[in-house]
């Protein structure tokens, strides 16, 4: 049950720890003014599963979006199991190419959306990005899951569950930030 719902025991523990971090204001979130947000920017570790998928879903929903990884190789293809799980949900991830943090170019109106609290802290520590609003994508899942554990190399059932959670969260997110919609 843990493997299919949370990926690993570590994923479950990080999820449990993320709730008090969020409640106590220790998540490094900086809320964005919905009227000022023009682009949704999804962030994860490798930009080959979670953030890549969120980007594809947001674009499919008519939003301006981008994605990058905090530690990846620019140009790397999406993870094969993520491509398969995305296809099962009706999304094509096959053309995605990763972008590393150093190659990401912030724009006015960007809202950074991380998958984990520790990623928000990395964004807050980056002098190029610490002035941008940043939040957890998991705030838009129902129920709220502030930690969306990395499915890379894990059980296929967890990959499918993780991407389905992201798909639902992005749908709610696009509605919450109408300024990011393409005209």
**CB–CB of 138/67 below 8 Å?**
no
The per-residue pLDDT for 1 is 81
Q: Is residue 182 over pLDDT 80?
A: no
List Cα–Cα distances, 42 to 59, 67, 141, in angstroms.
12, 4, 15
HSE-CB for 95 with a 13 A CA cutoff:
4
* Secondary structure (3-state) at 18: helix
Task: Report whether pLDDT(104) > 80.
Answer: yes
pLDDT, average across residues 100-123: 97
- Over residues 81-101, mean pLDDT: 97
pLDDT digits (tens, 9 = 90+) for 20-45: 999 999 989 998 888 899 999 999 99
Query: 32 or 173: whose pLDDT is higher?
Result: 173
Q: Which of 2-11, 83-92, 132-141 has the weakest average pLDDT?
A: 2-11
Q: How far apart are CA 10 and CA 8, in angstroms?
A: 5
Average pLDDT across the chain, whole number? 95
150 in Cβ contact with 7 (< 8 Å): yes
Sheet (strand 65-69) strand order:
65-69, 39-44, 110-114, 134-136
Q: Are 109 and 40 in contact (CB under 8 A)?
A: no
CATH class of the structural domain 2-180: alpha beta
Are 117 and 18 in contact by the 8 Å Cβ rule? The answer is: yes
Amino acid 183: pLDDT = 60
pLDDT higher at 118 or 2: 118
């Amino acid at each position: 049950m843990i493997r299919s719902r949370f990926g690993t025991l570590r994923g479950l523990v990080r999820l449990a720890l993320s709730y008090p971090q969020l409640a106590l204001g220790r998540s490094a979130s900086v809320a964005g003014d919905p009227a000022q947000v023009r682009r949704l920017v999804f962030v994860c570790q490798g930009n080959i599963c979670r953030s890549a998928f969120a980007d594809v879903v947001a674009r499919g929903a008519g939003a301006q979006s981008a994605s990058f990884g905090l530690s990846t190789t620019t140009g790397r293809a999406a993870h094969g199991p993520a491509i398969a799980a995305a296809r099962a949900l009706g999304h094509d991830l096959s053309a995605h190419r990763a972008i590393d943090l150093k190659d990401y170019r912030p724009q006015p109106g960007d809202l950074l959306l991380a998958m984990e609290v520790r990623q928000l802290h990395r964004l807050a520590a980056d002098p190029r990005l610490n002035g941008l609003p940043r939040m957890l994508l998991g705030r838009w899942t129902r129920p709220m899951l502030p930690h969306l554990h990395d499915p890379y190399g894990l059980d296929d059932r967890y990959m499918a569950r993780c991407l389905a959670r992201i798909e639902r969260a992005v749908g709610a997110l696009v509605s919450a930030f109408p300024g990011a919609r393409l005209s």
